[in-house]
Amino acid sequence: MSVLIKDEGFQADDLLDVEFVPLEEISATNRFLDLSSDADAFEIVRLFGQLNTIRIGFASFSDGRGFSLARRLRALGFTGRLRAFGHLISDQYSHARRCGFDEVAIDESLSQRQPQHQWLAQSSWDQPSYQDRLLRAG
């Protein structure tokens, strides 16, 4: 069971009964795409019109390729729902949102270790980024 995180806090996952399909198995009838963080964004552009949601997996919280992929997909014009899932931590939430993700899905055990208030603390858009704070200190 997964927990969905949006700027409003924890929510039940509304796509539990949806089948996400990997790129190599996609057909004209699929609206939910599952991508690994090393996918080529340019291969997906042709599918933008049919897709409702793209889910990008994070194998490790230290692997930032999913953030780059999300940014590229948005820059190429994807306007659908973009979901990060897998091994992310609350400190990465604001970065995920800034890169174009609409939401983050985590497993229930992580939601117990990092409760809602930790994720909400990262959801403020007026909170300065690490780089902003660093520049002001220097």
Binned at pLDDT 50, 70 and 90, residue 136 comes out as: confident
- How far is residue 4's CA from residue 108's CA, in Å, rounded to a whole number? 9
Domains of the chain (ranges; CATH) run 2-137 (3.20.20.70)
Instruction: Say which DSSP state 4 is in.
Output: E
- Per-residue DSSP letters for 55-88? EEEESSTT--HHHHHHHHHHHTT--SEEEEEES-
Characterize the bridge pairing of strands 21-22 and 32-35: parallel
Q: What are the tens digits of pLDDT across the range 82-128? A: 999 999 999 999 999 999 999 999 999 988 998 888 888 887 655 66
